């Protein structure tokens, strides 16, 4: 009997991908076992984050890294680090910034619902650029000179949403920011796979990069990574920790050596509500090592085979497309028909939840990452039954 039976919560087949509302994905037994082992002993959390730092360093090439309670938490903590640096007085004051050096420059076309994580610790978003390639009448987006023109003494950092369509290119944005001594904080939450992206954004000039641990990495649902410049990562860590400690019992390890030069210890920081547990840190470390070591071709082939099992069981003409993650698209011809199919799948036992991003076009999407092979075949069978 599963804990979900005990709690009386029906499980679902999640064909949406690792979305948060559907509880992310399914962890490998090795990751679950790491979490279990972590849960039955106590450790010093700074020592555990130092170990995670070594794992993240190896996987990303970053100077340093910490495990966070998600990519959103990593963005919040990264912003707090950019706002306060290693100044405990600035940390204590957040989200207030007395000298007003709190502005985050954001390209208008990169605004998104996750960027409010910048505002929580005290940043103020300054938008630049006119993305008329999106609105239709033009082909251009923001240029890096427009970012430069928005820089003032109040600018604290530049935020960048990583994505295939994101403009200007990260290398150009980083060049402008660095010329003015400003860090670039990159949201790369959903940019894995390909696993080479673990290193790419840092190589292209990011000072901090945020990844989700609960998406394709396959870590605990509420885990994430903040990786990058050692001083900024150390600041982010400090603003998340339980700091109800006297200075004389505070001895940061070499991984966070920047914290040895503080003029004093701040109190619990603005990131304290982003607390991450030892179980998540242990699970993320194992998941990240497995993700980085896996053969990308074999990983994609396994996802593809899963979807081919779905298509075969459905007996329908379902096309498989997509980029690093293959996705099956079931074309039902109209929004009404797609809505009927979606409701039928969600109304069965177990409920099947699929991607609705193209429902207006009459298309339902099936993502393999958070399903088992057996579940994918069951989805196909249910589609065949509904179509009959
Ligand atoms: C998923 C996502 C997040 C949030 O990640 P969590 O790990 O769930 O906190 C942030 N930004 C983008 C672009 C995302 O896709």
235 and 121 belong to one structural domain:
yes
Distance 71 CA to ligand 1 centre (A): 5
Identify the pLDDT of residue 322: 80
330 and 241 belong to one structural domain:
no
CATH number at residue 328: 3.90.1150.180
Per-residue pLDDT tens for 6-58? 999 999 999 999 999 999 999 999 999 999 999 999 999 999 999 999 999 99
pTM metric for this prediction: 0.97
136 and 102 belong to one structural domain:
yes
214 and 361 belong to one structural domain:
no
89 and 154 belong to one structural domain:
yes
Could you identify the atom of ligand 1 that is nearest to the CA of residue 19? Answer: 1
Q: Which of 18, 189, 208 to mutate to test the pocket of ligand 1 (most atoms within 8 A of CB)?
A: 189
Q: Give the residue from 293, 325, 354 where a domain finishes.
A: 293
17 and 48 belong to one structural domain:
no
**pLDDT(203) > 90:** yes
**pLDDT(136) > 90:** yes
Largest Cα–Cα distance in the chain? 73
**pLDDT(163) > 90:** yes
Is 194 contained in some domain?
Answer: yes
CA distances (Å), 333 to each of 273, 340, 362, in order? Answer: 46, 12, 5
Write down the residue that tokens 């007996």 correspond to: 315
Per-residue pLDDT tens for 167-199? 999 999 999 999 999 999 999 999 999 999 999
User: How far is residue 97's CA from residue 93's CA, in Å, rounded to a whole number?
Assistant: 7
Identify the band that residue 278 occupies on the pLDDT scale cut at 50, 70 and 90. very high
Half-sphere exposure of 20 (CA within 13 A, CB side): 12
Tell me which residue range forms the domain holding 383: 3-22+295-387
Identify the pLDDT of residue 287: 98
> Could you give the number of structural domains in the chain?
2
348 and 237 belong to one structural domain:
no
Nearest CA to ligand 1 atom 15: 190
Please state, for a pLDDT cut of 70, what percent of the chain lies above it.
Answer: 100
Averaged pLDDT, 213-237: 98
Helix or strand or coil: residue 184?
strand
**pLDDT(383) > 90:** yes
Task: Provide the terminal-to-terminal Cα distance of the chain, rounded to the nearest Å.
Answer: 34
Long-range contacts of range 332-339, CB-CB < 8 Å, 24 or more positions apart?
332/362, 332/363, 332/364, 333/362, 334/362, 335/359, 335/360, 335/361, 335/362, 337/362, 338/362, 338/363, 338/364
Identify the band that residue 251 occupies on the pLDDT scale cut at 50, 70 and 90. very high
Report the Cα 344 to chain-centroid distance in Å.
31
Averaged pLDDT, 334-349: 98
191 and 276 belong to one structural domain:
yes
Q: Is 204 in the pocket of ligand 1 (CB under 6 A)?
A: no
Q: Is 71 in the pocket of ligand 1 (CB under 6 A)?
A: yes
Is 223 contained in some domain?
Answer: yes
Nearest CA to ligand 1 atom 2: 189
Q: Give the residue from 254, 272, 293 where a domain finishes.
A: 293
Distance 297 CA to ligand 1 centre (A): 25
185 and 271 belong to one structural domain:
yes
**pLDDT(85) > 90:** yes
Is 36 contained in some domain?
Answer: no
Identify the pLDDT of residue 1: 87
Could you identify the atom of ligand 1 that is nearest to the CA of residue 223? Answer: 7
């Amino acid at each position: 009997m599963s804990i979900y039976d005990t709690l009386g919560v029906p499980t679902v087949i999640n064909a949406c991908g690792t979305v948060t509302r559907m509880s992310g994905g399914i962890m490998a037994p090795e990751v679950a076992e790491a979490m279990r082992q972590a849960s039955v002993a106590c450790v010093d959390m700074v020592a555990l984050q130092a170990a995670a730092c070594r794992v993240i360093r190896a996987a990303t090439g970053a100077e340093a890294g910490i495990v966070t309670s998600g990519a959103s938490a990593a963005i919040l903590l990264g912003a707090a680090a950019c706002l306060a640096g290693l100044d405990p007085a600035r940390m204590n004051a957040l989200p207030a910034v007395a000298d007003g050096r709190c502005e985050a420059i954001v390209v208008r076309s990169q605004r998104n619902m996750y960027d409010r994580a910048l505002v929580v610790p005290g940043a103020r978003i300054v938008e630049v650029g006119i993305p008329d390639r999106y609105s239709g009448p033009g082909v251009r987006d923001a240029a890096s000179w427009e970012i430069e023109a928005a820089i003032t003494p109040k600018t604290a950092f530049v935020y960048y949403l990583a994505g295939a369509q994101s403009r200007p290119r990260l290398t150009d944005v980083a060049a402008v920011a660095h010329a003015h001594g400003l860090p670039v904080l990159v949201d790369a939450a959903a940019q894995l796979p390909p696993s080479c992206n673990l290193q790419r954004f840092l190589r292209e000039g990011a000072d901090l990069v945020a990844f989700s641990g609960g998406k394709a990495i396959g870590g605990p649902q509420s885990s994430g990574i903040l990786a990058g410049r050692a001083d900024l990562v150390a600041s982010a860590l400090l603003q998340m920790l339980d700091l109800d400690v006297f200075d004389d019992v505070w001895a940061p390890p070499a991984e966070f050596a920047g914290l040895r030069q503080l003029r004093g210890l701040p109190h619990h920081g603005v990131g304290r509500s982003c607390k991450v547990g030892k179980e998540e840190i242990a699970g993320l470390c194992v998941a990240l090592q497995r993700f980085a070591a896996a053969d990308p071709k074999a990983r994609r082939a396994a996802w593809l085979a899963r979807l081919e099992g779905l298509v075969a069981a459905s007996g329908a003409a379902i096309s498989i497309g997509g980029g690093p993650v293959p996705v099956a698209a079931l074309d039902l011809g109209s929004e009404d028909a797609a809505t009927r199919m979606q409701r039928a799948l969600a109304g069965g036992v177990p409920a099947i939840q699929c991607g609705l991003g193209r429902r207006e076009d009459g298309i339902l999407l099936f993502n393999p990452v958070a399903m088992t092979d057996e579940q994918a075949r069951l989805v196909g069978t249910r589609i065949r039954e509904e179509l009959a």
